[in-house]
Structure 1
Amino acid sequence: MPELIAWVLLVAIAAYACAGGTDYGAGFWDLMAGGAERGKRPRRLIDHAMAPVWEVNNVWLIFVLVVMWTGFPTVFQAVFSAMWLPLALAAVGLVLRGAGFALRKPSRRLAQRRVYGAMFAISSLLTPFFLGAVLGGIASGRVAVGTTASADAWANETSVLTGLLAIAATAFLGAVFLCSDAGRFGAHDLADYFRLRALLAFAAVVVLALIALPVTHDDARYVWDGLTEGAGLLLVVLAGVCGVATLLLLLRRSHGWSRYASVASVALVVGAWGFAQRPYLLPTTLTVTQAAGADHTLRWLVIVTVVAIVLVGPALVLLYRLDTMGELEELTDAETMAAGTPGDNL
């Protein structure tokens, strides 16, 4: 039972890395779009593409937290005790990011739009960095039961590189998805614009991964061994193949398939990390079995997970499907004005 819950947790983390990561990547390119006039069209595309799904993507993060504190309360306590500062900064970033995105569009004054846009874009950069830094601290064995909070837990070489890799990976995902959105809306010049940025982001991922190789070897040896043999190595190779396939599909302007390939590459990397840590949740001090909650709690957690899959799963699949097909279009100002306001006909 504990192993099953651990795999559910890993799948939820992979889902958030892909779904939420795409949104963070869009925010990164919003930050890099330039001044108000130069970045007007890319930012308009980002707003239009994110609007239908950005709130839904955070459901995966909530699910991760629920499974973690219910199924593995010891791990939850250890991680949040040792890493409270980066996690708090990530949480602040999530709040400011959502507020900035929601308030930027209805703002009429340019100064207000700039402030809210800066909140959204900078938070989209900092939040994945801090979340990645937390994962790096865990992978390098700096978190154990009883570990007190310290800068070394998350400001070490492995954590910093993992945070930068998280930013680069989200930028890659965001650019790939925006290529497809631009093509769907007929903005073929923006498709070329984001295609170039997807290629640059992938190059950044490769460079950072190469830099991380010797660091991981020395600083996170247990995870390194897991990534260089067995199932972990296989998933890393498959992730690389999917990444290269994404580039080839982008060059051929096959934007629909490039989305699937990019998501697969990121999900496989998360899976490789999970295989590399087996059987530990906190390498090399706390195994999955040792960290698991009470048996009856785990049984109820499995039941709740099944219910959630049955009730929420189809709705999420339908939402993502309709979004990729371009069926979830926002109402224009003209349409909302034409609809009138409640009480107009009284």
Structure 2
Amino acid sequence: MLYVVLLFVVLSFFLYVLLGGADFGAGTLELFSGPDHKKSIKKTVYSVMGPVWEANHIWIIILIVVLWIGFPEFYNVVIIYMHIPLTLILLGITLRGVAFVFRHYDAIKDHTQNLYDRMFEFSCLVTPIFLGMTFGALLNGDVQTLEQAPNASFVELYIHPWLQPFPLFTGFFFSALCVFLAATFLIGEAKDYEKRMYMRKAAVAIIAVVVIGFATILIGYVQGNEFTNEFITNPLAIGAVALSGILLYPLWKVIRIGRVIWSRFLAGLQVLLILFAAIGTHFPNLIITKQGPISLLNHTAPERVMDVLGGSLIIGGALIIPGLIHLLKSFRMIKVLEERD
């Protein structure tokens, strides 16, 4: 059952990055748009996200619960030594949800709507940055546990590992990736005169992803980051990144001719390739401390627990996934694709 559990870990992580990331990117897209475009994006985002935006959080909930039960040592290191950025992520998700609801359903329409708009936009900007910073910190090599460094200060244990250039640029990279996903996905929901706007924004996001991604790798290389050194010498990682770059050409072609399903498929595939390059490089050693790596597979739950967990995930997936598909169909999220493709 270990492989079943790992499959759900990977699937949950990918789907949250893809779907939750697109939601965060939509708010960031709105933040960096002019007044006229803001109004159009706000309307489109509400019609797309409104019925299903909370459903996307199911994937991160599954991920957290599976790590907690199945991989307790790995989970404990993440939750203890990354508790500050994780708390900020939780705060960002909460503020985004509050702002999203009140800016549409507040009974009184006044200047407070501007406050809700700013809350929504800035929380959508900073939350993926902290998500990326957490991931970058785990791979940067500055994490140290109390067992490894019993005399370390609070700053050395809980702040220094994630407040570094490499984690910071990893956060910027993930935020740019979210904007790319949002702009690409929203092209299929836009009216004809809005599509050009989203195409321009998608192009800018692609440039940002490439530039920030290169800067992130460069920073890691200059710092002698173990993850970066393995990344740039790993043929699979380089091949995945190269293929992701090559796919930009067919993606742009299908966007221009209005092939909505293909544009979203290719965008999702590019994200999958980037995640494969980032995680596959060092799997299962997904935490790198000053004293060495910590494997996801170290001290996993007992076999009987894994059997129950894997069986529960199979049953739960059989119940949840059809329900989510029905939800998407009910609110035109799939029907729109079928009609416009």
Q: Which residue number corresponds to residue 340 of structure 1?
A: none
Indicate how the Cα distance of structure 1 residues 171 and 104 shifts in structure 2: closer, same or farther if over 3 A, else same.
Answer: same
Secondary structure at 1:110 match in 2: coil
Instruction: Find the partner of 1:272 among 271, 274, 277.
Output: 277
Instruction: Find the partner of 2:161 among 109, 133, 153.
Output: 153
- Aligned equivalents of 2:319, 2:81: Cα separation in 1: 35
Kept in 2, the 8 Å contact 1:3–1:289? The answer is no
Matched, 1:204 2:204: no
Deviations 1:11-64 (A, max 9, x none): 2111100010110011111212333x5522221111111112211111111111
Q: Which residue number corresponds to residue 99 of structure 1?
A: 98
- Aligned equivalents of 2:144, 2:72: Cα separation in 1: 13
Indicate how the Cα distance of structure 1 residues 319 and 129 shifts in structure 2: closer, same or farther if over 3 A, else same.
Answer: same
Deviations 1:302-345 (A, max 9, x none): 11111122111122234345413239xxxxxxxxxxxxxxxxxx
Q: Which runs of 5+ in 2 are unaligned?
A: 149-153
Q: Which residue number corresponds to residue 341 of structure 1?
A: none
Shift of 1:97: 0.2
- Aligned equivalents of 1:119, 1:266: Cα separation in 2: 27
- Aligned equivalents of 1:65, 1:113: Cα separation in 2: 33
Indicate how the Cα distance of structure 1 residues 16 and 246 shifts in structure 2: closer, same or farther if over 3 A, else same.
Answer: same
Structure 2 residue identity aligned to 1:22: A
Secondary structure at 1:288 match in 2: coil
- Aligned equivalents of 2:274, 2:80: Cα separation in 1: 27
Query: Sequence identity, in percent?
Result: 25
Kept in 2, the 8 Å contact 1:168–1:205? The answer is yes
Kept in 1, the 8 Å contact 2:131–2:171? The answer is yes
- Provide TM-score, normalisation by structure 1: 0.86
Q: Which residue number corresponds to residue 247 of structure 2?
A: 242
Matched, 1:324 2:325: no
Matched, 1:190 2:222: no
Deviations 1:266-317 (A, max 9, x none): 1221122221112313234222331412222211111111112211112223
Deviations 1:64-107 (A, max 9, x none): 11111111111111112111111101100000101100111123
Q: Which residue number corresponds to residue 23 of structure 2?
A: 23
Q: Which residue number corresponds to residue 323 of structure 2?
A: 315
Structure 2 residue identity aligned to 1:173: L
Matched, 1:286 2:290: no
Kept in 2, the 8 Å contact 1:144–1:282? The answer is no
- Aligned equivalents of 1:305, 1:25: Cα separation in 2: 29
Q: Which residue number corresponds to residue 151 of structure 2?
A: none
Kept in 2, the 8 Å contact 1:235–1:272? The answer is yes
Secondary structure at 1:153 match in 2: coil
- Aligned equivalents of 2:33, 2:220: Cα separation in 1: 33
Structure 1 residue identity aligned to 2:197: Y
State which drifts further: 81-90 or 244-253.
244-253
RMSD: 2.1
Q: Which residue number corresponds to residue 78 of structure 1?
A: 77
Q: Which runs of 5+ in 1 are unaligned?
A: 328-346
Q: Which residue number corresponds to residue 88 of structure 1?
A: 87
Structure 1 residue identity aligned to 2:333: D
- Aligned equivalents of 1:203, 1:192: Cα separation in 2: 17
- How many residues matched? 322
Q: Which residue number corresponds to residue 309 of structure 2?
A: 301
Q: Which residue number corresponds to residue 110 of structure 1?
A: 110
Secondary structure at 1:290 match in 2: coil
Structure 1 residue identity aligned to 2:110: L
Q: Which residue number corresponds to residue 58 of structure 1?
A: 57
Kept in 2, the 8 Å contact 1:132–1:162? The answer is yes
Indicate how the Cα distance of structure 1 residues 317 and 228 shifts in structure 2: closer, same or farther if over 3 A, else same.
Answer: farther
Deviations 1:152-188 (A, max 9, x none): 2111111011100011000000001111110xxxx21
Secondary structure at 1:280 match in 2: coil
